[in-house]
Amino acid sequence: MKRGRTVALLGAALGFAAAMCSPAIQADETTPTRVGQDAVCTRCHDESETKPILAMYQTPHGVTADGRTPSCQSCHGASAGHVAGDTEGKGRPAPDVIFGSKHTPAGYQPSDPLVQTEACLTCHKEGLRTHWSGSQHQLGDVVCSNCHTVHAANDPMLVKILQPEVCFGCHKEQRAQTKHISTHPLDAGKMACSDCHNPHGSSGPKLLVKNTVTETCLTCHAEKRGPFLWEHQPVNEDCTNCHTPHGSNISALLKSRPPFLCDECHDGPHNSQAPYGTAVGGIQGGGALAGGSPNSNAVGRACMNCHVMVHGSNSPTGAFLHH
């Protein structure tokens, strides 16, 4: 990707240089270069636009030397009527494809979502977009340009620190969650939503990059993957039995605070509310089994005062009591 960008910038620089030094290329619509092809539109849509149209030449879509690079018309359609102008006294007809969800400043209606996405998918059907059709975003009429900004030098989708803000525009709940005390380092720009989600569609639930929540988590937290001598069943089942992915006010992204977290599944003698009784192996604390003071459950690391390796352990002494 780095290499692609360098090439793109070079290409853009060359493209601009060519356009400036040689007015012939800029004006000639038959020139078989990107800049030449685009002149059909850029003779009107130039640097004077309020939105930065020509900044596209500084993106991968501006690599003029690459034969696969789209021209204005690959995306917006031939737009013959629009180019011809107001021939019927009803105003200039819209270009064939208008992107986005809102009317343009000129009052043109956005094209049907399927028309908009097809204009991009002609070149981008493969790879990450294999599951686009039928995905939550496709069914919700979200279009490529709701997320991507193709006319700007920096598409926020491809810049980790900028990406979440665009998603938050529609996903307010996740914005609130990521401001909690314990979160993934999204605000720091070390991660982005797309480290866990493929917003284009996925074969797993909730647009996750892998087929299950746990597989998604293990792409980075591989040390939590078993098999362990002493497994903790809910860890193998689903990390979200105990964690929440976006943010929590309890540290380590926990859904609730131990011992209450543990109590949700462990009743009887292992519940923190159990009356204390005989000590196990002389160990003080815990419920009835561990015996003694109930405080070991409530203080410090609660149940983890003793059950240190909550994700499972290989200790020969059993039941993830030790490192």
Of 267-306, binders to ligand HEC (CB under 6 A) are 270, 272, 280-281, 283-286, 289-290, 296-297, 301-306
Local structure of 58: helix, strand or coil? helix
Cβ proximity to ligand HEC, 1 vs 23, nearer residue: 1
**CB under 8 Å, gap of 24 or more: what pairs does 279-283 form?**
none
- The count of residues interacting with ligand HEC (CB under 6 A) is 144
Among the listed residues 265, 295, 299, 314, the single contact to ligand HEC using CB under 6 A = 265
Q: Smallest distance from the beta carbon of 24 to ligand HEC, in angstroms?
A: 18
Question: Residues 6 or more apart from 7 whose CB is under 8 A from it?
Answer: 63
Q: Smallest distance from the beta carbon of 188 to ligand HEC, in angstroms?
A: 9
Q: Is 34 in the site for ligand HEC (CB under 6 A)?
A: no
Q: Is 257 in the site for ligand HEC (CB under 6 A)?
A: no
Cβ(297)–Cβ(259) under 8 Å? Answer: yes
In order of 93, 116, 150, the CA distances from 96 in angstroms are 9, 10, 18
Q: Smallest distance from the beta carbon of 274 to ligand HEC, in angstroms?
A: 8
Cβ proximity to ligand HEC, 131 vs 197, nearer residue: 197
Cβ(96)–Cβ(73) under 8 Å? Answer: no
Among the listed residues 28, 224, 228, 315, the single contact to ligand HEC using CB under 6 A = 224
Cβ(154)–Cβ(60) under 8 Å? Answer: no
Query: Taking CB under 6 A as the criterion, which residues in 97-126 touch ligand HEC?
Result: 98-100, 104-106, 108, 117, 119-124
What track of x and - describes contact with ligand HEC for positions 152 through 191 (by CB under 6 A)? ---x-xx----xx-xx-xxx--x---x---x-xxx---xx
What track of x and - describes contact with ligand HEC for positions 2 through 31 (by CB under 6 A)? --x---------------------------
Cβ(110)–Cβ(99) under 8 Å? Answer: yes
How far is the C-alpha of 83 from the C-alpha of 95, rounded, in Å? 8
Cβ(143)–Cβ(115) under 8 Å? Answer: no
Dihedral, CA of residue 9, residue 149, residue 121 and residue 167, to nearest 10: 130
Query: Taking CB under 6 A as the criterion, which residues in 193-222 touch ligand HEC?
Result: 193-197, 199-200, 206-208, 213-214, 216-221
Length of the chain (residues): 323
